[in-house]
Amino acid sequence: MRKVMIAGNWKMNKTFSEGVELALALNEELKDGTGDVEVVVCPPAVDLKGVAEVIEQNDAPFGLGAQNVYWEEKGAFTGETAPDMLTAIGAGYCIIGHSERRGYFGETDEDINKKAKALMAHGIVPISCCGEPLEIREAGTHVEFVVNQIKADTADLVIDDPAKYVIAYEPIWAIGTGKTATADDAQEVCGAIRETLVEIFGAETAAEIRVLYGGSANEKNIADLVAKPDVDGALVGGASLKAPQFAEMVKNAQ
């Protein structure tokens, strides 16, 4: 049985003290628990330690994720963060392959594949993003486009625990635009992702891998999204930056 996941991607928002404040407010909002929903917040790198302390000191009902990682163990890689460094401050999850990293920073499927392997070798759950730009959607080749991303991103990946590998389908045209894909649009692609995972990893493993939707997901549309058979939660940008709104979303995903 796949557990619904709601993961907040704070992107490049919130200074250290603002991040701590948001984490404290979210802990307060979620004090009655999160039901069957696994909740994760992914602050900017410099906020991770502060949010980790909030989680630890309050036994907060959410996990901690980073927004990026480098695949090497250590060394002369100025500006990068190694998987070990994430583990050491208590981050159990990490977003990889976000379309903003692919688009602005040239991250490739090959990079994403290396990052997934490095994270999994350290017991960190990758939240591996995929999704098509508007012109591909308009050309009607979005399913094929995303399936090819999945195949490249998972090349030679060994998944021992399928609950610890997460995919997020984020159509680029729906990110930060207020244009949510309909629940049927999300299901079409998330269903195709599942079929691809069956081909690659077999039915048993594919049945346990969470496939999230991302792109203007919020407290109003989340229930329709998670009602679809292959949509297992959401990777949330804007709606994760206000504790009451994000908590409402967690509630409505139950």
Choose which of 96, 193, 235, 250 interacts with ligand 13P (CB under 6 A).
235
Q: What is the DSSP letter of 74?
A: S
Secondary structure (3-state) at 177:
coil
**Residue 110 annotated as catalytic:** no
Stretch that binds ligand 13P, among 118-126, 159-167, 170-178, 193-201 (CB under 6 A): 170-178
Choose which of 217, 226, 247, 250 interacts with ligand 13P (CB under 6 A).
217
If the CB atoms of residues 62 and 201 are measured against ligand 13P, the closer one turns out to be: 62
Stretch that binds ligand 13P, among 54-62, 108-116, 153-161, 208-216 (CB under 6 A): 208-216
Choose which of 109, 111, 170, 185 interacts with ligand 13P (CB under 6 A).
170
- CA distances to 75, 136, 144, 204, 225 from 140, rounded to whole Å, are 44, 6, 9, 30, 21
User: From the centroid of its chain, how far is CA 78?
Assistant: 25
Secondary structure (3-state) at 85:
helix
Stretch that binds ligand 13P, among 13-21, 140-148, 185-193, 237-245 (CB under 6 A): 237-245
**Residue 122 annotated as catalytic:** no
User: Does 68 sit near ligand 13P (CB under 6 A)?
Assistant: no
Site string for ligand 13P, 94-113 (x = CB under 6 A): ----x---------------
Helix ranges (H only) for the chain are 16-29, 48-58, 83-88, 99-105, 109-121, 134-139, 142-153, 183-201, 203-206, 222-226, 243-252
Choose which of 45, 69, 136, 175 interacts with ligand 13P (CB under 6 A).
175
Q: What is the dihedral of CA 213, 215, 216, 222, to 10 degrees?
A: 0
User: From the centroid of its chain, how far is CA 236?
Assistant: 8
Among the listed residues 98, 132, 142, 219, the single catalytic one is: 98
Catalytically annotated residues: 98, 170
Interaction site with ligand 13P (CB under 6 A): 9, 98, 170, 175-176, 214-217, 235-239
